[in-house]
Amino acid sequence: MTVEILSKPAPVASVDRDWWRGAVIYQIYPRSFADSNGDGVGDLPGVTAHLDYVASLGVDAIWLSPFFTSPMRDFGYDVSDYQDVDPIFGTLADFDRLVEKAHALGLKVIIDQVFSHTSDEHAWFKESRRDRTNPKADWYVWADAKPDGSPPSNWQSVFGGPSWTWDARRRQYYLHNFLSAQPDLNVHNPQVQDALVATSRFWLERGVDGFRFDAINFAMHDQALTDNPPILSGEGKRNRPFDFQHHFHNQSHADIPAFLSRLRALGEAAGGRFMVAEVGGEQAESEMKLYTHGDDRLHSAYGFLYLYADTLSGELFRQGAAMWPGGAGEGWPSWTFSNHDAPRAVSRWAQGRDLKAFADMCLLLLVCLRGNVFIYQGEELGLPQAEVPYERLQDPEAIANWPETLGRDGARTPLPWTATGVQAGFSAVEPWLPIDPVHIELAVDRQERDPASTLNLTRRVVALRKQLPGLKAGAMAFVEAPAPLMAFTRGEGDDQVLCAFNLGFETVDWAPPPGWRILESVNLEDAGRVPPTGGLIAVKT
């Protein structure tokens, strides 16, 4: 075999502090996981009641999307109290019970920290906007209007329109990279940093095992408020004014890594808690590397390489592997194909191929990648993107850009637990988003009984990743194979594993070379042939 080395082996990890290296982490979107009190919205007791199911997948940890006090303009990513649970999700006591049960089941608990912005209903912002001299006057990003009354810079918000909103109390504009109801914190201010560090300490003391830092590259801005340059190439679809600019000045400030080092030090003092960054945008590759470099920044980072990809190709995965070659001081990657912010991968990538077969291949492929693996709730069931009619949309981005984008609602619909139960076993009443009839056919109870289900495949391949050291944390090297077959090895020596996947639409004549034995496969029928959506893991004989 011709081998192209793209990464080095991971260093030997300690059992305790480095549990996360190569871990499989299950993302739970609490609003849509399980409703315990019959109000149509999932909650923390609903999560706790189903943790045995999550543990049965064999995953190492759960990541909980925000459950903090919030007016829910952006469904929890607009926090009005960092240190409490929104009543719609339960109480702090409910959270404590969730952590206790998760730990009893051997599951680590990771939670979101949304540190680039708050809700406009947060007490900090209410005080900050009161006048220009109050103690929190400089806790948010305020700026005077230009002489003609227009905003201080040309910066555009992710959700459409200028990222500045006028406030009559202060007679100034405030910055919001997202909704106008999500004012940006001035994380340049040491007092703000202290308050955010205190927030993380609060949750560490309640027993969480790590944090995902949401949109962390938006945490600091260019204080000179320099205009962003336009994108002149005209390439790509532009649905929002945000898409017309290079975002060099409203985000990605050079001081962000120093703040991340403060957070890492906090986690280390608490016994080495895991920290992962979400980093999007055109500079994501360099920023992910910057935010995880060395031993004093975050452990890992993930971007949107796969989340926003419209098609699946070998070149895409070569690009992903090349981003993290394993150099000195390099951090550790994390990967996800689906989450609450992107249309489900099965719908984006199948392109007419059988959805069940495609979902199975995607799961096998995901657990074969070098790095941590995030599985989004429902991915273990092979759920496609749900159909949500316009009148039921909740996502402000989807509503604003209808019908040009799929939006996020179709990836956030309730998890189907029982095929014949009321509201698919999610709730006793109509849920906050409708359940797609296609999802009901893929309900947990039906898949539990089917040995060939995507659910049971998930359990097998997650267990396989734990059993094979090369698959969990080994090096990755691509192997010469006839297109559209993609083949690569993980690990070295006796621990080496061979992985192959047909990402195309035609059958490829290929088989593992002599000396290899297929250990797990999906959608294979004939020896020596790999059909579309076919995939395999082989070990040395």
**Domains identified in the chain and CATH numbers:** 11-120+188-461 (3.20.20.80), 475-540 (2.60.40.1180)
Q: Is 536 helix (H, G, I), strand (E, B) or coil?
A: strand
Q: What is the predicted pLDDT for the residue at 8? A: 40
Pair type for strands 529-530 and 516-522 = unpaired
The number of helices, as runs of H, and strands, as runs of E, in the chain is: 15, 21
Are the C-beta atoms of residues 374 and 334 closer than 8 Å to each other?
Answer: yes
Kindly tell me the burial class for residue 298, based on how many C-beta atoms sit within 10 Å of its own C-beta (0-12, 13-18, 19 or more): buried
Cα gap 319→322, rounded to integer Å: 5
Cα gap 29→17, rounded to integer Å: 26
The H or E element containing residue 81 is strand 81-85
Cα gap 335→323, rounded to integer Å: 12
Give me 17's structure tokens: 């502090």
Please state the pTM of the whole predicted model.
0.95
Q: Is 372 helix (H, G, I), strand (E, B) or coil?
A: strand
Are the C-beta atoms of residues 251 and 217 closer than 8 Å to each other?
Answer: yes
Q: Residue 356's CB: how many other CB atoms inside 10 A? A: 19
Are the C-beta atoms of residues 300 and 332 closer than 8 Å to each other?
Answer: yes
The H or E element containing residue 78 is none
Q: Give the closest residue to 510 by CA, choosing from 489, 492, 536, 490.
A: 536
Q: Give the closest residue to 468 by CA, choosing from 379, 383, 537, 366.
A: 537
Q: What is the predicted pLDDT for the residue at 400? A: 80
Q: What is the predicted pLDDT for the residue at 16? A: 67
Task: For residue 174, give Cα distances in angstroms to 132, 338, 412.
Answer: 12, 33, 30
Task: For residue 536, give Cα distances in angstroms to 369, 375, 399, 497.
Answer: 13, 19, 41, 10
Cα gap 228→245, rounded to integer Å: 6
Q: What is the predicted pLDDT for the residue at 238? A: 80
Pair type for strands 372-376 and 164-167 = unpaired
> Which residues in 376-407 are b (16+ Cβ under 10 Å) and which e?
bbbbbbbbbbbebeeeebbbbbbebbeeeebb
**What size, in residues, is the chain?**
541
Are the C-beta atoms of residues 448 and 454 closer than 8 Å to each other?
Answer: no
Q: Give the closest residue to 65 by CA, choosing from 86, 37, 36.
A: 86
Q: Residue 91's CB: how many other CB atoms inside 10 A? A: 15
Q: What is the dihedral of CA 321, 326, 332, 333, to 10 degrees?
A: -10
CA angle 220, 224, 229 (to 5 degrees): 85
CA angle 508, 527, 380 (to 5 degrees): 75
Q: What is the predicted pLDDT for the residue at 235? A: 64
Q: Is 51 helix (H, G, I), strand (E, B) or coil?
A: helix
| From 84, 138, 167, 268, the catalytic residue | 268
Are the C-beta atoms of residues 144 and 166 closer than 8 Å to each other?
Answer: no
CA angle 419, 109, 396 (to 5 degrees): 65
Answer yes or no: 285 catalytic.
Answer: no
Q: Is 184 helix (H, G, I), strand (E, B) or coil?
A: strand
> Which residues in 97-106 are b (16+ Cβ under 10 Å) and which e?
ebbebbeeee
Q: Which residues contact 518 (CB under 8 A, 6 or more apart)?
A: 512, 524, 536, 537, 538
| From 35, 86, 214, 520, the catalytic residue | 214
Per-residue pLDDT for the chain (541 aa), expressed as one digit of tens each? 333 434 443 333 334 689 999 999 999 999 999 999 999 999 999 999 999 999 999 999 999 999 999 999 999 999 999 999 999 999 999 999 999 999 999 999 999 999 999 999 999 999 999 999 999 999 999 999 999 999 999 999 999 899 999 999 999 999 999 999 999 999 999 999 999 999 999 999 999 999 999 999 999 999 999 999 999 876 666 878 999 999 999 999 999 999 999 999 999 999 999 999 999 999 999 999 999 999 999 999 999 999 999 999 999 999 999 999 999 999 999 999 999 999 999 999 999 999 999 999 999 999 999 999 999 999 999 999 999 999 999 998 888 878 877 679 999 999 999 999 999 999 999 999 999 999 999 999 999 999 999 999 999 999 999 999 999 999 999 999 999 999 999 999 999 999 999 999 999 999 999 999 999 999 999 999 999 999 999 999 9
Q: Give the closest residue to 475 by CA, choosing from 365, 371, 374.
A: 371
Cα gap 285→60, rounded to integer Å: 26
Are the C-beta atoms of residues 182 and 73 closer than 8 Å to each other?
Answer: yes
Cα gap 148→226, rounded to integer Å: 17
Whether a cis peptide bond, with omega within 30° of 0, leads into 403 is yes
Answer yes or no: 268 catalytic.
Answer: yes
Q: Which residues contact 171 (CB under 8 A, 6 or more apart)?
A: none
Q: Residue 75's CB: how many other CB atoms inside 10 A? A: 22
Q: Give the closest residue to 530 by CA, choosing from 513, 503, 504, 509.
A: 509
**HSE of 277 in the Cβ direction (CA atoms, 13 Å)?**
33
Task: For residue 414, give Cα distances in angstroms to 168, 431, 446.
Answer: 41, 7, 16
